[in-house]
A = this chain, B = another copy of it.
Amino acid sequence: MAERFDRIWHNARLATMRDGRVDLGEIEQGLIAARDGRIVYAGAQSDFPVDADAAERIDCAGRWITPGLVDCHTHLVYGGNRAHEFELRLKGASYEEIARAGGGIVSTVAATRKATEGELVAGALPRLDALIAEGATTVEIKSGYGLDAETEMRQLAAARSLGRVRQVAIRTSFLGAHALPPESDGDKDRYIDLICNQMLPAVAKAGLADAVDGFMEGIAFSGEQTARVFEAARALGLPVKLHADQLSNLGGATLAAKFSALSADHLEHTDESGAVAMAKAGTSAVLLPGAFYFIRETQKPPVELFRKHGVHMALATDCNPGSSPLTSLLLAMNMGATLFRMTVAECLAGVTREGARALGVLAETGTLEAGKWCDLAIWDIERPAELVYRIGFNPLHSRVWRAQ
Interface residues of A (CB under 8 A from B): 81-84, 86-87, 90-91, 126-127, 130, 290, 293-294, 296, 317, 324-328, 330-331, 337-338, 341-344, 382-383, 385-386, 388-395
Q: Do A87 and B344 form a contact, CB below 8 Å, given A326-B391, A392-B130?
A: yes
Q: Which residue of B lies closest to A382 (CB)?
A: B81
The answer to whether B293 and A338 have CB atoms under 8 Å apart is yes
Q: Which of B91, B343, B395 contacts A87 (CB 8 A)?
A: B343
Bound Cα distance A43, B29 (Å):
59
Asked if A328 meets B83 with Cβ closer than 8 Å, knowing A90-B341, A91-B343, the reply is: no
Number of copies: 2
Interchain CB contact under 8 A, B344 and A390: no
Q: Which 9 A-B pairs have the closest CB atoms?
A: A328-B392, A83-B385, A87-B385, A83-B389, A326-B391, A86-B389, A83-B386, A331-B392, A87-B344
Is the CB–CB distance between A383 and B338 below 8 Å?
no
B391 in contact with A328 (CB, 8 Å): yes
* Residue among A127, A382, A393 facing the most chain B CB atoms (10 A cut-off): A393
Q: Cα distance A328–B330 when bound, in Å? A: 13
Contacts A130-B394, A290-B391, A330-B392 aside, 13 further interface pairs with beta carbons under 8 A come to A81-B382, A83-B382, A86-B344, A87-B385, A87-B389, A130-B392, A293-B391, A325-B390, A325-B393, A326-B392, A327-B392, A328-B391, A328-B392
The CA of A317 and the CA of B392, in the complex, are separated in Å by 10
| Interchain CA distance A328-B391 in the complex, whole Å | 7
Nearest chain-B residue to A317 (Cβ)? B392
- Docked pose: A293 CA to B90 CA in angstroms: 19
Q: Which of B84, B290, B296, B388 is within 8 Å of A385, CB to CB?
A: B84
Some 10 contacts from A to B, beta carbons below 8 A apart, are A81-B386, A83-B382, A83-B390, A86-B389, A87-B388, A87-B389, A130-B392, A294-B338, A325-B393, A326-B391
- Is there an interface contact between A86 and B328, defined as CB atoms closer than 8 Å? no
> CB-CB < 8 A to A393: which residues of B?
126-127, 130, 325, 327-328
Most B C-beta atoms less than 10 A away, residue of A90, A317, A341, A395: A90
Q: Within 8 Å CB of A81, what residues of B?
A: 382-383, 386
Partner of A344, one of B90, B326, B327, B330: B90
Which chain B residues lie closer than 8 Å to A90 at the CB level? 337, 341-344
